Copies of this chain bind each other. A is one copy, B any other.
Amino acid sequence: MTLKEKKYLLCITLSLLLLLFGLPRIEAAKQPDPLSSWTDGEVRSSIINFVERIATEGSPHFVPPEQRIAVLDNDGTLWSEKPVYFQLFFAIDRIQTLAPKHPEWKTKQPFKAVLENDIKALTASGEKGLLEIVMATHAGMTTAEFEQIVKKWISTAKHPRFKRLYIDLVYQPMLQLLSYLRANDFKTFIVSAGGIEFMRPWTEAVYSIPPEQVIGSSIKTKFEMRDGKPVLVRLPEMDFIDDKEGKPVGIHKFIGRRPIAAFGNSDGDLQMLQWTAAGDGIRFMLLIHHTDAKREWAYDRKSHIGRLDKALDEANARGWTVVDMKKDWKVIYPFEMK
């Protein structure tokens, strides 16, 4: 064989090999560390060990892709929740916007408290007061109108401490975790006590989680014809509260199968983790412990918002993974990296 013939043969062989094996390998080799914002250590390893065991064909713990369901809380798990749930800031802003049309709010609690920025009176109005605020601000319009209101707020309103958009306060390590799970064929679902229609307008852009994979609390809607066009009108009536015991109920209602991995940060997530843990085969349960007062907030057993008490005891007793935010996360927010 001449040199050129050899070259020719080599070229054909290489092309075939490239076709068969090359491209996927080049893809794999190119990938950077998918969890680079997680400190090397037990927590990071526990995530990787679980994912590798369930995703490796032939492993005794292999789980078929269609059963790789992961559920994640939102407030305090995917983005911050302090000084109050961000949806409450939204409701307060709505009260202020709508106030000119409601002169009676000047003298009526809990609206008076909101308008006068009187946190003490607002807190005193309790759950009943909160529900009144939600109904006054979240109902009475069509679903399309509400979506526009949320989209406008989320792209303009700023957080009081960081002076940044609320969607800038998502956790970089959790964004990486979401991508890592999806790269391993997980379907990622949000399961939040927050309003389902408060989240859906932006979760796809921010978390790459489409609306049909967002589960949350909801109010009722009603189908109506207006000028020959169908609309859905938001009614001032609760439909479903997706918190505590409601989380497994919501998971069963919306997903219809048990997750194999669950991520939360408070006692409101305990039942979701218990429900996930109770399935057959290996499971992964993770709690985020907010321990970083400097970069984010530090709170747990005594916090009014995001209380982590019973769930922390159960996690410790059962060996669930607990993230020490200060130690386990190299960065908190994406903007720290710019």
Residues of chain A whose beta carbon lies under 8 Å from any beta carbon of chain B:
2, 4-5, 7-8, 11-12, 15, 18-19, 23, 66, 69, 143, 187, 196-197, 200, 204, 210-214, 218, 221-223, 229-230, 232, 239, 245-246, 248-249, 252-257, 271, 274-275, 278
Contact = CB atoms under 8 A, between A and B. Distances in A.
A74 to B, nearest CB: 15
A70 to B, nearest CB: 12
Contacts of A275: 223, 230
Given A218-B253, A230-B271, A223 B211 contact: no
Is chain A's interface secondary structure helix, strand, loop, or mixed overall? Answer: helix
Nearest to A144: B258
Contact of A256 (B2, B4, B200, B278): B200
Contact of A8 (B7, B23, B245): B7
Copies of this chain, count: 2
Contacts of A254: 212, 254
Given A8-B7, A212-B187, A255-B211, A278 B229 contact: yes
A156 B257 CA distance: 23
A252 B143 contact: yes
Contacts of A249: 221-223, 232
A221 B66 contact: no
Contact of A232 (B5, B7, B248): B248
A253 B211 CA distance: 10
Contacts of A197: 256
B196 A256 contact: yes
Residue from A12, A213, A230, A232 whose CB has the most chain B CB atoms within 10 Å = A230
Contacts of A23: 19
Contacts of A246: 223
Nearest to A245: B223
A274 B230 contact: yes
Contacts of A210: 66
Contact of A221 (B223, B230, B232, B252): B252
A240 to B, nearest CB: 9
